Amino acid sequence: MGHLIAPSLLAADFLKLGQEVEMFNESEADWLHLDVMDGVFVPNISFGFPVIKALKKVCKKPMDVHLMIVEPHKYISEVAASGAYLMNVHYEACTHLHRTVAAIKDAGMKAGVTLNPHTPVSLLEDILQDVDLVMLMSVNPGYGGQHFIPHSVEKVARLREMIDRKGLQTLIEVDGGVNLETGKQLLEVGADVLVAGNFVFKSPDPKRIIHELKAL
């Protein structure tokens, strides 16, 4: 399987969401990445389930929903009802992560676990076999347009080694500061899915940028 590209809608023009999703549908992108923030777990508020449900009506590809919120287990049914393909929760926000992952799968979605930049991949040792995807934040979550944290490349390499050692098919997704240069570095050490926000949506030609990311 070639790598996947997941444009992050947080960087889109919110006055033109329909047009932005239409561009996404026509592009070579694979997933639509949706960041839900609560102003508690991260210092920002984005959008919620009414917006995701509306997007589902026009989005023709899988929706990758990333919950940057406290107590994400309380919203599993809402995420599933909104039409999400994958529900991504933070390791740091889940006291009972195994239970949360199982509930996400029971609701019919793929289960993803996200790590903040300071959280070591070694903490995934006993949950890795249960998740479909691990997302590594390569910026501190909460805002788009931040600079890539270089240490993330080494972190992806360590996670790839863990996954391969266990003989698993778990995907590695990376979110934050992704462009052609950092994307290439991440793919070389084993990343499977690249999330790109500003680099795609703030470009004069987003489809071309998506094509170039896909061609890495």
Short-list 30, 44, 129, CA closest to 85: 30
Catalytic residue among 35, 38, 64, 132: 35
Catalytic residue among 38, 132, 175, 192: 175
User: Is 126 a residue of the active site?
Assistant: no
User: Is 192 a residue of the active site?
Assistant: no
Instruction: Please tell me the distance from the alpha carbon of residue 18 to that of residue 23, in angstroms, as a whole number.
Output: 9
- Burial of residue 111, with CB atoms counted within 10 A of its CB: 0-12 exposed, 13-18 middle, 19 or more buried: buried
Point out which residues pair with 134 in neighbouring strands.
Answer: 113, 172
Helices (H), the chain: 17-26, 49-56, 76-81, 97-106, 151-166, 180-188, 198-201, 206-214
Instruction: Please tell me the distance from the alpha carbon of residue 186 to that of residue 155, in angstroms, as a whole number.
Output: 10
Instruction: Please tell me the distance from the alpha carbon of residue 179 to that of residue 183, in angstroms, as a whole number.
Output: 5
65: left (phi over 0), alpha (psi -120 to 50) or beta: beta
Does residue 21 sit in helix, strand or coil? helix
Instruction: Please tell me the distance from the alpha carbon of residue 51 to that of residue 17, in angstroms, as a whole number.
Output: 10
Residues assigned a catalytic role: 35, 175
